[in-house]
Structure 1
Amino acid sequence: MPRVTDAYLAARRNQVLDAVRACVDRDGLQGATMEGIIGLSGLSTGTVYKYIRGKDEGVEAAMGGALDGLTTALLPYLTADPLPPPAEVMGQLVRTVETFARRETYSLLRVAVHGWSAALSNPALLERTAPVYRGFRDLLRDAAVTWKEDGALPGDADPDDVAACLLSMLMGHVAQQALLPDTSAAQQARGYAALFVSGASPRA
């Protein structure tokens, strides 16, 4: 009997987690069921239960895995040396989010919004996802420190404040594009360029 490879097992697990995301997108967190997940997976009931023991475990793994993948995709833009100015980095981040979120059978943006809502009443889901958001906010803080040193931010700017604001902008873009699909990353990038004008001085 041929040996089942790690790559095969990983592909089947990803197939199951994609089915979880598709089911959440279609039916919402409350409406999603194991029956729906199994049906969308194209796998047998036994195979699906081999990878997740129930809906809640599947949702936690699906949400957490997507966040981990997105963080990996965004990381190069926040750790580049030299680091581009804020408007350029933010533009790169939203374009990457838009590209990463494209799926053939579901909207990862809508899944994310469902996940935020569910995390408010699901401690296990919050425990799985909040550290990822916090870690990404730390990366934004590190970037803000660099921008401050480079003169791209005012000398009295607090990197923690900047990081919190930028994370809100990114999460707001996800929510807006999920609710208003005519919102694009290119539009957001142009907005960032207008907001983060180098050398602009406030009017007296």
Structure 2
Amino acid sequence: MPRVTDAYLAARRNQVLDAVRACVDRDGLQGATMEGIIGLSGLSTGTVYKYIRGKDEGVEAAMGSALDGLTAVMLPYLTADPLPPPAEVMGQLSRTVEAFARHEEYSLLRVAVHGWSAALSSPALLERTAPLYRAFRELLHDAAVTWKADGALPEDAVPEDVASCLLSLLVGQVAQQALLSDTSAEQQARGYAALFANGASART
């Protein structure tokens, strides 16, 4: 019998988690069911249950893995050496969020908003996702320390405050793009350029 490879198992798991996201996008957290997830996955009932034991577990895995993936593709922009100015980095992060969220089967932006709502009443989901947001905020903090040392932020800037604010702006972008169709990452990038214009001038 041919050996089942790790790549094959990972692909099937991703197929199941994509079905979870598509079901949540289509039906919301309350309306999503295992039957709906199974139907959207294109896999057998037994196969789906090999990867998730129920809807709640599937939602936790789908949200967590999406955040893991997004953090991985954003990491290079926050750890570059030398680190570009704030407006450039934040513009790239905005574009990365928008590109990462594009899927034919579902809107990852809307799924994220559903996930935030669910985390308020699901300790397990909050426990799975909150550390990822905190870790990303730490990356923004480290970037703020660098920007302050470079003179791109005021001398009295508190890196913790800057990191908290920037995370809120990125989360707000997700919410705005999920709810409104007349906004884009490029618009966000131009906004960051305007907000950080004084800092950029101070460096030159």
Question: What is the TM-score normalised by the length of structure 2?
Answer: 0.97
What is the aligned partner in structure 2 of residue 172 from structure 1?
172
What is the aligned partner in structure 2 of residue 149 from structure 1?
149
Q: What amino acid is aligned across from residue 158 of structure 1 in structure 2?
A: V
Q: Distance in 2 between matches of 1:31 and 1:73?
A: 31
Q: Please tell me whether residue 6 in structure 1 is matched to residue 11 in structure 2.
A: no
Deviations 1:143-188 (A, max 9, x none): 0000000000001100000000000000000000000022100011
Name the SS for the 2:197 alignment partner: coil
Q: Please tell me whether residue 194 in structure 1 is matched to residue 204 in structure 2.
A: no
What is the aligned partner in structure 2 of residue 182 from structure 1?
182
Q: Distance in 2 between matches of 1:115 and 1:171?
A: 12
Shift of residue 199, structure 1, vs aligned partner: 4.4
Q: What amino acid is aligned across from residue 166 of structure 2 in structure 1?
A: L
Unaligned runs of 5+ in 2: none
Q: What amino acid is aligned across from residue 3 of structure 1 in structure 2?
A: R
- Alignment check: 8 A CA contact 2:154 2:199 kept: no
1:43–1:147: structure 2 CA closer, same or farther, 3 Å change rule?
same
Q: Distance in 2 between matches of 1:78 and 1:87?
A: 12
What is the aligned partner in structure 1 of residue 159 from structure 2?
159
Q: Distance in 1 between matches of 2:91 and 2:3?
A: 45
1:76–1:35: structure 2 CA closer, same or farther, 3 Å change rule?
same
Deviations 1:98-123 (A, max 9, x none): 00000010000000000000000000
Name the SS for the 1:198 alignment partner: helix
1:70–1:199: structure 2 CA closer, same or farther, 3 Å change rule?
closer
Name the SS for the 1:80 alignment partner: coil
Q: Distance in 2 between matches of 1:60 and 1:9?
A: 19
What root-mean-square deviation, in Å, do the aligned CA atoms of Structure 1 and Structure 2 show?
1.0
What is the aligned partner in structure 2 of residue 71 from structure 1?
71
- Alignment check: 8 A CA contact 2:88 2:193 kept: yes
Shift of residue 200, structure 1, vs aligned partner: 7.9
What is the aligned partner in structure 2 of residue 15 from structure 1?
15
What is the aligned partner in structure 2 of residue 81 from structure 1?
81
Shift of residue 198, structure 1, vs aligned partner: 3.1
Deviations 1:32-63 (A, max 9, x none): 00000000000000000000000000000000
What is the aligned partner in structure 1 of residue 48 from structure 2?
48
Q: Distance in 2 between matches of 1:183 and 1:126?
A: 28
What is the aligned partner in structure 1 of residue 96 from structure 2?
96
What is the aligned partner in structure 2 of residue 28 from structure 1?
28
Give % identity: 88
What is the aligned partner in structure 2 of residue 116 from structure 1?
116
Tell me how many residue pairs correspond in the alignment.
201
